[in-house]
Amino acid sequence: MSILKLMATTAVALGLSWQLAAQSTPTPPAPVLPGVYADPHIAVFGKKYYLYPTTDGSEGWLSDHFTCWSSKDLKKWKLEGTILDLKKDLTWASNRAWAPAIAFKNGKYYFYFSANTNIGVAVADKPTGPFKDALGKPLISKGQYQAQIIDPMVLVDDDGQAYLYFGQGRCYIVKLNPDMVSFDPADVISYKPEGYNEGSFVFKRNGKYYLMWSEYDTRDPRYSVAYAVADSPMGPFVKASQNPILKGAGLVKGAGHHSVVKAPKKDEWYIAYHRFKIPDGNGYNRETCISPMRFDKEGNILPVDVFETVK
């Protein structure tokens, strides 16, 4: 075969295989929130679900406020408005409003958030706010621990004890005091499972505590979610052998920084996460999606299908 003929045959073969690959890649579902929102923290209070995301759309994630969204079915989401405006509501930080988390205790809603790489806490009587800065200063300040002070998560256990998880680069864990806005620094422990980067999230199922986190950088298409399990909220956690449980596929890139919710009165679980916006997204333009999350009989989390939506 002449060189020219070989080149032509190879080009046809490559073209065909590209076409086949394009045809076999499923179309990604639409995001659940309109626009660019990331780090979604999902929760259920009563019969309503709530989402608390980071607002994307600027290089360096310079957003200065947090919004809240509500839904009865996890599919249609209503914007409840701005629930915390750093410029108006804080005296100690004015931007980089990132990765919040919500917790409910003693009739109050506690909103933990990253602001200019400190962690703060605000309190409200309703999940939709308005939230008021509880301390007038950060709960944890930049430089206080050997991690970037971002990405808080609070688990309130069945006995009412609350646990705070936070940190990028390393996961710190501590019991919160009953007031939900303080802790004993002497009780802080840290944990860095292989691959851990940021975005920790914890939930309890059948007496086991699942600590989940995101691996790689959020601007990396390989961004993904892994988990470890323990018998106690402070560990020791053992990383599951089947990881990651959430990652991009086909046109879905950078799927991560997630949270998990259980449907009331059912063993039905959903994972909220962000991915690069489709089309033309990147680590600063991400969008929020929700997919079902399932377990096997042993309680291992099964890989999430990023093309599956809530039925």
Interface residues with ligand FUB (CB under 6 A) are 38-39, 54, 61, 98-99, 114, 150-151, 198-199, 218, 257
Q: Which of 56, 89, 133, 198 is catalytic?
A: 198
Cβ-Cβ contacts under 8 Å for 138 (sequence gap 6 or more): 92, 93, 115, 118, 119, 120, 149
Q: How far is the CB of 135 from ligand FUB (least distance, A)?
A: 20
Q: Is 280 a catalytic residue?
A: no
Q: Is 39 a catalytic residue?
A: yes
Of 150 and 271, nearer to ligand FUB (C-beta) is 150
Of 134 and 150, nearer to ligand FUB (C-beta) is 150
8-state DSSP, 128? T
Of 98 and 112, nearer to ligand FUB (C-beta) is 98
Q: How far is the CB of 151 from ligand FUB (least distance, A)?
A: 5
Q: How far is the CB of 54 from ligand FUB (least distance, A)?
A: 4
Q: What count of other Cβ atoms lies within 10 Å of the Cβ of residue 184? A: 10
CA distances from 58 to 53, 108, 216, 218, 274 (A): 15, 32, 20, 14, 16
Token pair 């309703």 in the structure block, residue? 126
Q: Taking the alpha carbons of 148, 95, 132, 263 in that order, is the dihedral positive or negative?
A: negative
Q: How far is the CB of 169 from ligand FUB (least distance, A)?
A: 11
Q: What count of other Cβ atoms lies within 10 Å of the Cβ of residue 255? A: 28
* Nearest alpha carbon to residue 109 among 154, 64, 79, 165: 154
Of 45 and 221, nearer to ligand FUB (C-beta) is 221
Q: Which of 39, 64, 89, 287 is catalytic?
A: 39
Catalytic site residues? 39, 198
